């Protein structure tokens, strides 16, 4: 079950496994509600509920790998894309598990930052308003992979940022696209829209002075850009076509056309 309007790359990536795909005219929240009803009516297991502990605790591996790849230290800052708020809480949990096991070189002093799209930002809105009460919203953003208007773990996502001394920030769709371009042009990484959110939010946090330029900062890029190519429609011109001849290229080059 998927929401209508999901990116074609994600639809194809599901269909290839031979599944029976059903599109629901609504958001991820509508899909979750419908699936809960179907699960009860047909006595089926619902992955987002029955198997969620495996998914949730499996997310701790993200935090483990951050610490391992930084030489068994945790960074000063971690910026995490937030949808249902599971990943952000599990990264924080993973750091402290490694600390308890004595695997870290030092204590956990990381600040955890929540990153959302302005068109679906119930968690960052709560953080900015200094409340742990999540007010559900109707998603309206190109960052569909994190467009959860009523996050199941939203309270814990807010608590994670508070306990770590972090913050929550959001950016609009135009800023998301600019951040996707920035990451590709400077680091050679083509991210999907959620990664654009974390990059753009990081830039905003640096400008606000919440993150210092000399600190160790990890930006979580959680998806490949080929999954959300629709977000870049109209952003680039079609390639210039020439004949397979040197003089054809030289003519193009002499006219100073960018290729």
In a domain, 249, yes or no: no
Instruction: Give CA–CA dist 136/114, Å, rounded.
Output: 17
Domain hosting 188: range is: 53-232
Residue 42 shares a structural domain with residue 166: no
Residue 35 shares a structural domain with residue 156: no
Residue 27 shares a structural domain with residue 74: no
pLDDT at 259: 46
In a domain, 245, yes or no: no
In a domain, 254, yes or no: no
Phi then psi for residue 236, to 5 deg, are: -130, 150
Please report, for the domain that includes residue 102, its CATH number.
3.40.50.1100
Residue 192 shares a structural domain with residue 220: yes
Residue 44 shares a structural domain with residue 95: no
In a domain, 256, yes or no: no
Which residues on neighbouring strands pair with residue 171, listed in sequence order? Answer: 117
201 in Cβ contact with 229 (< 8 Å): no
Residue 58 shares a structural domain with residue 45: no
Tens-of-pLDDT digits for all 259 residues of the chain?
999 999 999 999 999 999 999 999 999 999 999 999 999 999 998 888 777 888 889 999 999 999 999 999 999 999 999 999 999 999 999 999 999 999 999 999 999 999 999 999 999 999 999 999 999 999 999 999 999 999 999 999 999 999 999 999 999 999 999 999 999 999 999 999 999 999 999 999 999 999 999 999 999 999 999 999 999 999 998 898 999 999 999 999 988 655 4
DSSP-based three-state secondary structure for 80: strand
Q: What is the CA radius of gyration of the chain?
A: 21
Q: What is the pTM of this model?
A: 0.91
Residue 80 shares a structural domain with residue 37: no
Q: Which helix (H) or strand (E) holds 112?
A: strand 111-117
Residue 26 shares a structural domain with residue 118: no
Instruction: Give CA–CA dist 12/95, Å, rounded.
Output: 35
| Sheet arrangement for strand 77-81 | 168-171, 111-117, 77-81, 217-219
Q: Report CA-CA distances (Å) from 174 to 8, 141, 180.
A: 21, 10, 10
Residue 110 shares a structural domain with residue 162: yes
Residue 24 shares a structural domain with residue 127: no
For 212-250, the DSSP string reads -TTS-EEE---SBGGGGGGGGTTSSPPPPP--SSHHHHH
Residue 24 shares a structural domain with residue 125: no
Quote the number of domains for the chain.
2
In a domain, 241, yes or no: no
Residue 61 shares a structural domain with residue 178: yes
């Amino acid at each position: 079950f998927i929401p209508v309007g999901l990116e074609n790359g994600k639809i194809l990536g599901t269909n290839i496994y031979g599944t029976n795909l059903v599109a629901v005219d609504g958001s991820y929240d509508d899909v979750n509600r419908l699936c809960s009803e179907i699960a009860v009516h047909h006595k089926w297991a619902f992955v987002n509920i029955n198997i969620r502990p495996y998914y949730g605790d499996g997310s701790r591996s993200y935090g483990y790998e951050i610490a391992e790849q930084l030489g068994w230290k945790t960074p000063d800052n971690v910026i995490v894309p937030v949808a249902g708020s599971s990943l952000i809480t599990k990264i924080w949990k993973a750091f402290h598990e490694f600390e308890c096991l004595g695997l870290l070189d030092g204590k956990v002093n990381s600040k955890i930052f929540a990153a959302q799209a302005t068109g679906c930002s119930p968690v960052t809105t709560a953080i900015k308003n200094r409340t742990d009460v999540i007010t559900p919203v109707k998603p309206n953003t190109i960052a569909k992979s994190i467009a959860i208007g009523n996050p199941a773990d939203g309270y814990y996502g807010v608590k994670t940022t508070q306990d770590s001394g972090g913050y929550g920030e959001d950016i609009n769709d135009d800023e998301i696209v600019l951040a996707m371009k920035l990451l590709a042009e400077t680091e050679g990484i083509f991210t999907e829209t959620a990664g654009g959110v974390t990059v753009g939010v990081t830039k905003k946090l640096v400008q606000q002075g919440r993150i210092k330029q000399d600190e160790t900062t990890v930006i979580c890029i959680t998806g490949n850009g080929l999954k959300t190519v629709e977000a870049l429609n109209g952003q680039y011109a079609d390639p210039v076509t020439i004949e397979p001849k040197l003089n054809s290229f030289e003519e193009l080059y002499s006219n100073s056309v960018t290729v």
